[in-house]
Amino acid sequence: MCPSKTPDGEERGWIIPIGGAEDKENETTILRRYVELCGGRDADIVVIPTASRRADTGERYEALFTELGVAQVTAIDFDTRRDCEEKGRLSRIGQASGIFFTGGNQLRLTTLLGGTSVAKLIRQRNAQGAHVAGTSAGAAVLSEHMIAFGEEGGSPRAGSVRLAPGLGLTNRFIIDQHFRQRDRLGRLSTALAFNPFAIGIGLDEDTAAFIAPDNTLEVVGSGAVTVIDAAGLQFSSMDRIEEGEPVCLLGLSVHMLVSGATFNLHTRQASAGSLITPKE
């Protein structure tokens, strides 16, 4: 699965994975920034609550985005794969300036949407300029390589993570959410031991990575983003150990980024960004 090709003369939309538990009642910094990207008061957002089994999830995000001044917001759920071929739903997604995936279970998203017309359309719309965001499970599913489930802990261990295909908006990174709160450094590092090409992005709660069309990631929110870069990996013991044993990894680069800091997914260069400017 590959990301859709951006048409000549157009610019890909932003990709915004959120670590879960984003502020919905006070400053709502992440959601406000997303609404601004999607057009502010002219934004047209489709919410996809399929990852959640709670009946009110879609309605809750409809209300949140309406309170933030969005002109039009519609929750569209998918209970069966047949729903993913329904022309009315496809047409509505095709009109949206923003597509937002709620949290829940990422495997529910991939088993219902994977390989369908909806999944293909979302990749196309992002390539054409629509901004796609997801929180928690909705963040995990955005990339080509998705963490399906795994074990908590700070050390990488063989068998501590299981990968599955995601929606494939990009193949540049692997997302892990609720990162610091659920102690997930080990499982994200293990995922990179399988595929050193990708960059690991660990998102704390109430923290988002706003990834621009030029592949520059900017951190927004109250927590941190842990970036693990395996491009300089010198050695991995993954191919010679048994299930449950710790993995030896030499040459990983790790960056701890907070709001305002950036990371270029193409050049793999980190920057303190706006943090360089002293506060008055």
Catalytic entry in 52, 136, 143, 189: 136
- Whether 71 contacts 124, CB under 8 Å: no
Within 10 angstroms of residue 236's Cβ, the number of other Cβ atoms is 20
131 is catalytic: no
Strand 253-258 and strand 224-229: the pairing is antiparallel
136 is catalytic: yes
Show Cβ contacts of residue 201 under 8 Å, excluding neighbours closer than 6 positions: 17, 173, 174, 175, 176, 209, 217, 225, 226, 227, 228
Q: If residue 29 lies in a helix (H) or strand (E), which one and from where to where?
A: helix 29-37
259 is catalytic: no
Show Cβ contacts of residue 2 under 8 Å, excluding neighbours closer than 6 positions: 144, 168, 171
Cα separation of 16 and 69, whole Å? Answer: 20
Catalytic entry in 131, 205, 236, 259: 205
Show Cβ contacts of residue 29 under 8 Å, excluding neighbours closer than 6 positions: 23, 220, 221, 222
- Whether 80 contacts 113, CB under 8 Å: no
Catalytic entry in 52, 178, 189, 259: 178
Q: If residue 132 lies in a helix (H) or strand (E), which one and from where to where?
A: strand 131-135
Q: Which residues are annotated as catalytic?
A: 136, 178, 205
